[in-house]
Structure 1
Amino acid sequence: MRSNKKLGSYPGILITVSLTVALFLIGFCGWVALSSKELIRYVKQNIEVQVYLNHDLTQNSIDSLQSIFAALPELETKSAENTISFVSSEKAAEAFLAETNEDYKDILGDNPFRDAFTMKVKEEILSEGQLALFKKKIEAYPGVYEVDYAKDFVNGVTENANKAYLILSAIVLIFLVATILLINNTIKLALYSQRFIIRTMQLVGATNGFVQKPFITKGLIQGFVAGAIAAVLLFITQQLALKQLEGLSLIQNSGLMTVVLLILLILGPLIGVVSTYQSISRYLNVDLDDLY
């Protein structure tokens, strides 16, 4: 029964390398998908709504409106200090002069800018319909002249986000299917060279479980090693990208990245065991004539 432990010229390195490359590609696509999702979320969180006020409002009226707006349930609550801010007409005029180097006083005489509030709303209402309702709600308050936001930009972000999710999800799915097919074929070719050893073990009385055990164990180990290497390579790739690409750290989610790495560690052994089991079962039930 010693032949059970010696699997001949089984190409374990080839299987491990193939599975490592495939898992790395799956993990890389998953990381890109998560980064894209975080990028879109980051952009949405920084979309602002401008609330322009009437010219004749007193400071008490402005303070009262600010208190009312700050309590709105639609406003983002994760960063309360930046949720709502006030920009006076004087500061708006100074900013315009600094950017354009054109003095409005020479043309208009009076300050054409209005006092305004800048708000950050929750991601859940960043759609055309929800923002339209929010705009109508704010404009109903006395003292509010107009509410404005980048409508075309919001719609573009939403549409592109849906397209990006679908495309990246399809790529990950394609890589996953290709990985399973690739590893299945590789293991089948590897076990083809072991078919006579398997039949010899059966002839001397070995049960199917006894024959399968060393191959499945090897598949488990190869899958775990491949998953671990792929996870390490993906982590190194991420760290190198963070050093080379400025601002990339703003759209990284360490929790989701950890999930991706854990998935690789689980997916590797799972593919290795399932593919090995399916392939070896084929040779356990084949007729002797078919082995040739």
Structure 2
Amino acid sequence: MPKKKKIGSYPNVMIVVSLTAALFLIGFCGMLVIQSKKLVSIIRQNIEVRIFLEKTLSDPGRDSVLQIVQQKAFVQTNGGTPAVTFVSKEEAAKEFMEGTKEDFTAFLGENPLRDSYQVKIQEDYFEEAKLKLIKADLETINGVYEVVYQEDLADSINRNITKLYIVLSSFALVMLIIIVLLINNTIKLAIYSQRFLIRSMQLVGATNGFIQQPFLLRGATQGLVGGIMAIILLVVLQQVAIRNIEGLSMLQEYDKLAFLLASLLLLGVAIGIVSTYQSLARYLKMALDDLY
């Protein structure tokens, strides 16, 4: 005896697989955005401005420069302490010789380098225009010979990260549109097999809401399952990457990741419900002759 067909019952493996794939790719793009933002934040927090001092500057003069620099609003603080580090010309010469493997003092007869301060700048000032203003401001201090920083670094990073966000956002949007269209067509084909059952229920007086309920429940379940599977895949991928890529753990922001995964779950349920509702509405309004 053939199995009795129930309202809202149709194969859902293909729909769940499609949803899982789409939500996984969207979530992967989101993870890349979160980690790239964290990487940029780390770079910004470690950008330094080098203040070279006059060679004739005395110790009291050097301390005076330090006090002025520490009071600047753009100086980064660690636990309330300004991130300003003194580097003597002897330390600078040692670092230079370790890097080049050459003793330049041997043929120069003296150390031409200068005492300096390394100043870490707050993240909000990570723009080329602001860094130029910082340079001009610091060079007005008595005893300061020159202020240097990596020019064009800020603008280069900001431009590249903006391009990355645009590419990832565009890819995620295209994937969302494609998967909605794909799932709409898949659900339409699935509901097509139940079009006569839907019409029979209408003929005995069933309301549209009563007919839609099992279909929408199934769509929500499909979206939920697809979202859960996508989340599992993303978490597994993340843990494998953390274990195999050194330093990747520093880029993890678990509060933002939790929000992203929760959003994927809600997005999956929303896609399942909306796609089912749109596909079902066609058959609820279709004339009897059009069903054949």
Letter of the aligned partner of 2:95 in structure 1? A
Counterpart of 1:74 in 2: which secondary structure? coil
Q: Residues of 1 paired with 2:76 and 2:4: CA distance?
A: 63
Counterpart of 2:77 in 1: which secondary structure? coil
| Map of 1:287 onto structure 2 | 287
| Map of 1:30 onto structure 2 | 30
What is the TM-score normalised by the length of structure 2?
0.94
| Map of 1:187 onto structure 2 | 187
| Map of 2:268 onto structure 1 | 268
Contact 1:23 1:227 in 2 (8 A): yes
| Map of 2:89 onto structure 1 | 89
Going from structure 1 to structure 2, the CA distance change for 1:264 and 1:78 (only over 3 Å counts) comes to farther
Matched, 1:71 2:71: yes
| Map of 1:60 onto structure 2 | 60
Going from structure 1 to structure 2, the CA distance change for 1:250 and 1:182 (only over 3 Å counts) comes to same
| Map of 2:111 onto structure 1 | 111
Q: Residues of 1 paired with 2:61 and 2:183: CA distance?
A: 70
CA drift of 1:64 comes to 2.3
CA offsets 1:179-233 (integer angstroms, 9 cap, x no match)? 2112111111111111111111111111101000000011111111111111121
**Over aligned residues, Cα RMSD in angstroms?**
1.9
CA drift of 1:269 comes to 0.6
Q: Residues of 1 paired with 2:225 and 2:8: CA distance?
A: 21
Going from structure 1 to structure 2, the CA distance change for 1:91 and 1:283 (only over 3 Å counts) comes to same
Going from structure 1 to structure 2, the CA distance change for 1:274 and 1:9 (only over 3 Å counts) comes to closer
Q: Residues of 2 paired with 1:125 and 1:59: CA distance?
A: 30
Counterparts of 1:196-275 in structure 2 under 5 Å? 196-275=196-275
Contact 1:5 1:214 in 2 (8 A): no
Q: Residues of 1 paired with 2:211 and 2:122: CA distance?
A: 59
Going from structure 1 to structure 2, the CA distance change for 1:186 and 1:77 (only over 3 Å counts) comes to farther
CA offsets 1:233-254 (integer angstroms, 9 cap, x no match)? 1111111111111111122211
Matched, 1:11 2:11: yes
Contact 2:12 2:222 in 1 (8 A): yes
Counterpart of 1:118 in 2: which secondary structure? strand
Q: Among all aligned residue pairs of Structure 1 and Structure 2, give the percentage whose two residues are the same amino acid.
A: 48
Going from structure 1 to structure 2, the CA distance change for 1:36 and 1:79 (only over 3 Å counts) comes to farther
Q: Which runs of 5+ in 2 are unaligned?
A: none
Counterpart of 1:86 in 2: which secondary structure? strand
Q: Residues of 2 paired with 1:93 and 1:238: CA distance?
A: 43
CA drift of 1:117 comes to 0.8
CA offsets 1:118-150 (integer angstroms, 9 cap, x no match)? 111122211111111110000000011111011
Counterpart of 2:152 in 1: which secondary structure? helix
Q: How many residues align?
A: 290
Which piece of structure 1 moves more, 207-216 or 171-180? 171-180
Q: Residues of 1 paired with 2:231 and 2:5: CA distance?
A: 30
Counterpart of 2:108 in 1: which secondary structure? coil
Contact 1:48 1:149 in 2 (8 A): yes
Letter of the aligned partner of 2:191 in structure 1? L
Which piece of structure 1 moves more, 95-104 or 123-132? 95-104
Letter of the aligned partner of 2:229 in structure 1? I
Counterpart of 1:107 in 2: which secondary structure? helix
Letter of the aligned partner of 2:46 in structure 1? N
